[in-house]
Amino acid sequence: MHPILSDKKKFVIYLFVWSVAAVLLGLIHSSLTGIVYLYTIGFTLPLMLVYAEVNLSAWYLCKAFPIERNSLWKILLVTFISTVLISSMWTVIAWGWMAAIEQFFSISLSPLSLVQTLLVISGIGMPLFFLSLAISYLMSAFEQSRAAERNAFEARLLAQSAELKALRMQIDPHFLFNALNSISALTVSNAESARSMTTTLADFFRKSLSYGAKETISVNEELALLNHYLDIEKIRFGKRLNVVQNIASDTLSCMIPSLLLQPLMENAIKHGISDSIDGGTITISMEKKNSRLFVSVENPIDSDDSIKSKKHGAGMGIEIVSKRLQTLYGNNSGVNISLSNNIFHVVLFLPATS
């Protein structure tokens, strides 16, 4: 449908512009011929409003003969023929309307001969329709540009969604692999703990179905899921695993990608607890600064693992977290990793939205 006809507000503005042009044309006509301007405006206003409707056909012409699928000569030929035909039709209408007014009011609207008068009317109509056609081609090009941008944006969203789903699909198998390894190890040394861990694992996955299916969840919900995960790991590591949470109260309502903290905690347990006889303490902190949410995870690491970490960098879990943040927030997020005095420190930041 025509973009002007589909929008009532645009259509009213369109008619208003043509009405103003008609009044100005009537005043010019009156000043040049000395005819009372009420007669000249009575002639030009209805005529221009009719031509305004006729000029809407220019849109359908540009759709029937788009520039990108037709040669320049074909477009010029269509433009010439349509301009001549439309302006000629309008000239005939103007001739009839002029004759009706002159006969009804017993006046003469033009001091020129009939042929000269019709040439003047045609000379006004042709450039007006040509202008309408040019504007229609510009509107069509703009519409196509917007459609292309919209399609590109939708394609980016689909690609982003697919990438996020792929990244999240990596999290669950990664965690399940570690959990099943833990259960396997416990079946030999502590069968009761293995059974308890199996039950807790089932509860965790049941709970993660509701949270993990969402794009984002609140920090409070993410912490509830994280604590459920830690319950599983504490069965395995017992007193060797200590977790300290320093969570600012104003961060609990912030929205973050679901299952964001679990890979960080897995990485901390792998490097800070699993290979250490005495275990250690993992510290997770959250705070808001300048409309950003900062999440910090610290864990001790032995000297051998320190060398490995320097050589190979972060594990798969941190890599997934980094990719998810980059996909969702772009340059408004990031992950920083540092290692100092056998303390592995991961800091990530993202927009603090509620």
Q: How confident is the model at residue 311 (pLDDT cuts 50, 70, 90)?
A: very low
Q: How far is CA 56 from CA 84, 104, 137, 248, in A?
A: 16, 31, 12, 62
Q: To the nearest whole percent, how much of the chain has pLDDT over 70? A: 87
CA-angle at 192, arms to 191 and 195, nearest 5°? 85
Residue 119: its pLDDT value, please? Answer: 92
Residue 166 has pLDDT above 80, yes or no: no
Question: Residue 208 above 80 pLDDT?
Answer: no
Alpha helical stretches, state H, the chain? 8-33, 37-55, 57-64, 72-105, 114-189, 191-212, 219-237, 261-272, 303-312, 316-329
Per residue in 118-149, pLDDT (tens digit) is: 999 999 999 999 999 998 888 888 888 888 88
**Position with higher pLDDT, 286 vs 150:** 286
pLDDT band at 345 (very low <50, low <70, confident <90, very high): very high
Domains, in order of start, for the chain: 8-152 (no CATH), 190-351 (3.30.565.10)
AA letter at 303: S
Is residue 81 a contact partner of residue 88, using CB atoms and an 8 Å limit?
no
Q: With a cut of 60, say whether residue 245 has pLDDT above it.
A: yes
Model pLDDT, residue 310: 43
Residues 6+ apart with CB under 8 A from 231: 200, 204
CA separation, residue 124 to residues 87, 190, 261, 310 (Å): 8, 97, 71, 79
Q: What is the mean pLDDT of residues 54-77?
A: 88
- Asked whether the whole model's pTM tops 0.75, one would answer no
- Of residues 61, 56, 53, the one with CA closest to residue 81: 61
Mean pLDDT (the chain, rounded): 84
7 pLDDT higher than 90: no
User: So what's the pLDDT on residue 307?
Assistant: 44
CB atoms within 10 A of CB 92: 13
Question: Has residue 248 got a pLDDT over 50?
Answer: yes
User: Over pLDDT 90: what percentage of the chain?
Assistant: 38
Higher pLDDT among residues 168 and 64, named by residue: 64
Predicted pLDDT at 23: 94
pLDDT at residue 313, as a whole number: 44
Q: What is 133-202 written as a DSSP string? A: HHHHHHHHHHHHHHHHHHHHHHHHHHHHHHHHHHHHHHHHHHHHHHHHHHHHHHHHH-HHHHHHHHHHHH
- Could you tell me the pLDDT band of residue 173, with boundaries at 50, 70 and 90? low
Token digits of residue 241: 């695993």
Q: Which residue has the higher pLDDT, 68 or 115?
A: 115
Quick one: pLDDT at residue 149? 81
Q: Give the span between the Cα atoms of 345 and 132, in whole angstroms.
A: 65
Mean pLDDT, rounded, for 315-341: 84
Query: In the structure, what pLDDT confidence band is assigned to residue 312 with cuts at 50, 70 and 90?
Result: very low
349: Cβ contacts below 8 Å, ≥ 6 apart: 292, 293, 294, 295, 333, 334
